[in-house]
Chains A and B, each alone.
Chain A
Amino acid sequence: MNIIEVTNVSKKLKSKGKEVFALGNVSFNVKKGEIFGLLGPNGAGKTTMVNILLNVLVQDKGTVSVFGKRIGTDTLEKMNLVSGDIRFQWTLSSKQILEFYGRIYGLTKKEREKRISKLSKLFEIDHFMNRRFSYLSTGERMRLNFAKAMLNKPSLLLLDEPTLGLDPDIAIKVREEIKRVNKKFGTTILLTSHYMNEVEQLCDRIAFMDNGEIAEIGSVRKVLTSGGLFDMIVKVTKVKKPLELRARGFKIRGKTLRKQLKPGESLSTNLSFLSRNGIQVLDVETKRPTLEDYFVRVARRKA
């Protein structure tokens, strides 16, 4: 069953009189219990898509449904948001903020007490419960945000750059928590991120966005190999016939040769080409592309 269905969504926004093409014909589905990643460079349209799902922005064209329904206040009651640029009212304490959201989600006094104390232990916010929001550090704000986001036991959690600005060790904890919430409660999660390793680690499927459009969608593996490219790196004793090597697509750096293999192109034909030319091979290494490579490639294509 699809928890999120986005079909042919387009959105233009005006900024200082100029039209910005924020989303163009975006379609994707997120299945129940899945962790789905929206990945892409700055300005790709990730937050815009999240805002539409949160009903604070309405698309120009296309349809969006959550839990099989049109989005509205009743779908929002079963969702929640954690966002990297999270800000709550600065004069309120952590406790007052949780108390407020507990009431917004219609929890009784007993339920609030129970859940707030449980969540404050889980996210280690116990020691700053009475501290004002404006005094909290980035990591503390994020943990508070996670606690708030779990108050209504959401069936769908939207995470907009949830590890933005966090220390590596806290980011690891947050990722573990995301995985745990997903496993334990079967919470469906839509995650946007800049961090490739985060997405590779967490997501079942990803959509790579660029310029408001989805460039590629599928499993991490599928997106990575969509270009089919991977690199072979060969260390040799001595470089001979550099012209022939270059003609065949090798890049030469000292005693290292590097070549990007096309889909279906085999390693062995390249190695036999080398030995035919009397080049002695010391070491061969292949490098599967990472999302990072993919990211850089898309960014370069854009520039």
Chain B
Amino acid sequence: MKWYKVQALIYREGRIFRNAKYRAVLFLYFPITTIIIWGLFSSSVQGRALETGMLVLIVNVFWNFGQLAQSSTNMAMMDDSFSGSLKHIFVSGVSSTEYILARIITSSLLSAVVVVLLIGLSVYAFQATILLANFSLVVILTCLTLIASIGLSVFVAGMILALGKEYGFLSWSSIQIFVLLSAPFYSISVFPEIIQPVAWVMPFTNIFEGIRQLISAGFVDPTLIVNGAIISVAYLAVSFPFYTAVFRHAKKNGNLVKMGS
């Protein structure tokens, strides 16, 4: 791996971000409007259901953050694919790892800025002071969400390469099923019994459970954090070899060429 190539790709991402207005929409418009919607909901139910309001607001902060960190990595790749510039990047001696790493770094940095904005908005506009009071816990949950999302993005990148360009929609759609199964607003016990074991290994399950506990009980069970960390890291550890294997295979079956031009 050559670091200057990763830096070059990050430079390029930065320029694209500056030049392409839709990227700003992706990063700012959707997350911020979502948080305002649920923040207003939370304020309006304060008398009747304070806890529910907070739960929906804070889960949405993490959901949006996770979604952004994952989808922006994958959508940037699809952007290169649809603009036909992907082939030229790999032809210049960029490796599959350098490519995805640059994507992950830019997405993580930009999403981190956004999550700070979203937390600030929740705290100062919608009284989610619980986030400030438990700041170190919030930082830990944020990191776990980021790691899980990166793992997912690498996995989705592999899936798109394996299935072909026409499955590019996975870049923005796949997160939904993972969030559903990660039980965001409800406890895992609402799922049928056969689904519950699956739900336990979903990337955000422990994180969402932790948020719910924090809001209702004021603390987070350390085992949730440990399990969350194990699962997040496991996603990363599995998805990287999967991505590199698929990439190698895509050179054999012609999918990389099709993706690239």
Q: A residues within 8 Å of B by Cβ?
A: 13-14, 51, 54-58, 60, 73-74, 76-77, 80-81, 85-93, 96, 99-101, 103-106, 132
Contact in complex: A104, B94 (CB < 8 Å): yes
Residues of B within 8 A of A99 (CB): 11
The answer to whether B252 has its CB under 8 Å from any CB of chain A is: yes
Complex partner residue of A14 from B4, B84, B254, B257, CB under 8 angstroms: B254
Contact in complex: B15, A100 (CB < 8 Å): yes
Contact in complex: B251, A85 (CB < 8 Å): no
- Bound Cα distance A91, B256 (Å): 23
Interface string of B85-100 (1 = CB under 8 A from A): 1011111111100000
Residues of A within 8 A of B261 (CB): 85, 87
Contact in complex: B257, A88 (CB < 8 Å): no
Contact in complex: A76, B80 (CB < 8 Å): no
Residues of B within 8 A of A101 (CB): 8, 92
Contact in complex: B16, A92 (CB < 8 Å): yes
- Bound Cα distance A14, B254 (Å): 8
A51 and B88 in contact, given A56-B251, A73-B94, A92-B12 (Cβ under 8 angstroms): no
Residues of B within 8 A of A86 (CB): 88
Contact in complex: B15, A92 (CB < 8 Å): yes
A54 and B91 in contact, given A14-B254, A89-B16 (Cβ under 8 angstroms): yes
- Bound Cα distance A58, B5 (Å): 23
For window 221-261 of B, CB contacts with A under 8 Å fall at 251-254, 256-257, 260-261
Residues of B within 8 A of A132 (CB): 19
Closest 8 CB pairs of A and B: A87-B84, A103-B8, A76-B93, A91-B19, A73-B93, A100-B12, A77-B93, A91-B20
Contact in complex: A106, B4 (CB < 8 Å): yes
Complex partner residue of B2 from A14, A85, A90, A106, CB under 8 angstroms: A106
- Bound Cα distance A76, B7 (Å): 18
Residues of B within 8 A of A73 (CB): 93-95
Dominant secondary structure at the B interface: helix
Residues of B within 8 A of A57 (CB): 251-252, 254, 256-257
Question: Which A residue's beta carbon lies closest to that of B248?
Answer: A58
Complex partner residue of A85 from B7, B15, B84, B94, CB under 8 angstroms: B84
A58 and B251 in contact, given A73-B94, A104-B94 (Cβ under 8 angstroms): yes
Residues of A within 8 A of B88 (CB): 81, 86-88
Q: Report B259 CB to chain A, min CB distance, Å.
A: 9
Residues of B within 8 A of A13 (CB): 253-254
The answer to whether B136 has its CB under 8 Å from any CB of chain A is: no
Contact in complex: A88, B85 (CB < 8 Å): yes
Interface string of B55-96 (1 = CB under 8 A from A): 000000000000000000000000110011101111111110
Q: B residues within 8 Å of A by Cβ?
A: 2, 4-5, 7-9, 11-12, 15-16, 19-20, 79-80, 83-85, 87-95, 251-254, 256-257, 260-261
- Bound Cα distance A51, B261 (Å): 11
Contact in complex: B8, A56 (CB < 8 Å): no
Question: Which A residue's beta carbon lies closest to that of B89?
Answer: A104
A88 and B83 in contact, given A56-B257, A73-B93, A104-B5 (Cβ under 8 angstroms): yes
Q: Report B247 CB to chain A, min CB distance, Å.
A: 11
Residues of A within 8 A of B11 (CB): 99-100, 103
Question: Which B residue's beta carbon lies closest to that of A75?
Answer: B93
List 6 additional contacts besides A87-B83, A100-B8, A106-B5; criterion CB under 8 Å: A55-B251, A56-B251, A57-B254, A73-B94, A89-B12, A96-B12
Q: Report B22 CB to chain A, min CB distance, Å.
A: 9
A76 and B92 in contact, given A56-B257, A103-B4, A104-B8 (Cβ under 8 angstroms): yes
Name 10 interchain pairs, CB-CB below 8 A, sorted by A.
A14-B254, A56-B87, A56-B251, A57-B251, A85-B84, A87-B85, A91-B20, A93-B19, A103-B5, A104-B93
Question: Which B residue's beta carbon lies closest to that of A22?
Answer: B254
Complex partner residue of B93 from A74, A88, A100, CB under 8 angstroms: A74
